[in-house]
């Protein structure tokens, strides 16, 4: 059974140390890497606002004050931005679970990596989300991840099978999935993903549009060259 609904809130995961970017994140968070003269996370925010997102929670850790000062409360984009500050890194799942504490509303929530720039149709993704489950946007395997992560069969994502695709870093969840986890605990988002796959409540959408994972210097260069603002 699928949720006939839209999503209007998001958790943006921006707490990572950006170690793969080396000197490029020594004095700033990865989310503020410049892509075509604008911070990567601002590109993400503009994409999401254009698709109906109005409430944003951002988890922070590395250079948190710089990121919070840069973005403010979201009024410049006509939205609400809330920050979930992590004194210790909580991994992707723990970051989402804890950020939900500062995000109003209930039901569907989009989860988007701050270092992923993509034009995924998040409302189409939301419509595929099974009740009490999740929906993942998958992409063709990039050069740095040739074996992929998951397969899609009959619209559902599984750990086994061919062909394989890579998780894009963009997903929609029913927030009830996280009710069994305590806030401020560390766990990977892969943990509830696997559970949803086992219960056949993890849907998949193959995204064929723009997608850049700017976790490496060469990827930042490529995004600066090829990203097309919609």
- Give the pLDDT band (50/70/90) at residue 1: very low
Mapped onto helix, strand or coil, the DSSP state of residue 199 is coil
In a domain, 1, yes or no: no
For residue 18, what is the domain's CATH number? 3.90.550.10
Asked if 123 and 6 count as a contact pair (C-beta separation under 8 A), the reply is yes
Q: Read off the pLDDT of residues 128-146 as tens digits, 9 standing for 90 and up.
A: 999 999 999 999 999 989 9
pLDDT score recorded for residue 194: 98
Q: Structure pTM?
A: 0.94
Could you list the residue range(s) of the whole structural domain that residue 201 is in? 9-226
Measured CA to CA, the distance from residue 169 to residue 66 in angstroms comes to 23
In a domain, 119, yes or no: yes
Beta strands in 71-192 (DSSP E): 80-85, 108-113, 116-118, 134-139, 150-153, 156-158, 164-174
Q: Return the residue matching tokens 């097309």.
A: 228
Query: How many residues make up the chain in this entry?
Result: 230
Residue 22 DSSP symbol: G
Q: Per-residue pLDDT for 114 more than 90?
A: yes
The better pLDDT of the pair 20, 188 is held by: 188
Q: Per-residue pLDDT for 151 more than 80?
A: yes
- Report the run of H or E that residue 41 belongs to, with start and end: helix 40-49
Total tally of structural domains belonging to the chain: 1
pLDDT score recorded for residue 4: 53
């Amino acid at each position: 059974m699928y949720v006939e609904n839209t999503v209007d809130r998001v958790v943006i995961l921006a707490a990572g140390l950006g170690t793969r970017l080396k000197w490029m994140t020594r004095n700033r968070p990865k989310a503020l890497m410049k892509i075509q003269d604008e911070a990567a996370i601002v590109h993400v925010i503009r994409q999401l606002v254009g698709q109906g997102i109005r409430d944003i929670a951002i988890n922070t850790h590395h250079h948190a004050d710089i990121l919070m000062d840069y973005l403010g409360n979201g009024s410049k984009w006509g939205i609400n931005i809330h920050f979930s500050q992590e004194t210790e890194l909580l991994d992707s799942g723990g970051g989402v679970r804890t950020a939900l504490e500062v995000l109003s509303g209930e039901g569907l929530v989009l989860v988007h990596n701050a270092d992923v720039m993509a034009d995924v149709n998040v409302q189409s993704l939301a419509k595929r989300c099974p009740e009490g489950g999740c929906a993942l946007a998958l992409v063709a395997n990039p050069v740095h991840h040739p074996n992929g992560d998951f397969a899609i069969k009959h619209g559902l994502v599984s750990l086994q099978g061919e062909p394989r695709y890579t998780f894009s870093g963009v997903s929609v969840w029913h927030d009830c999935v996280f009710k069994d986890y305590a806030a401020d605990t560390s766990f990977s988002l892969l943990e509830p993903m696997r559970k949803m796959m086992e219960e056949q409540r993890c849907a998949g959408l193959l995204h064929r549009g723009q997608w850049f994972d700017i976790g490496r210097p060469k990827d930042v260069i490529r995004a600066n060259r090829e990203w097309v603002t919609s």
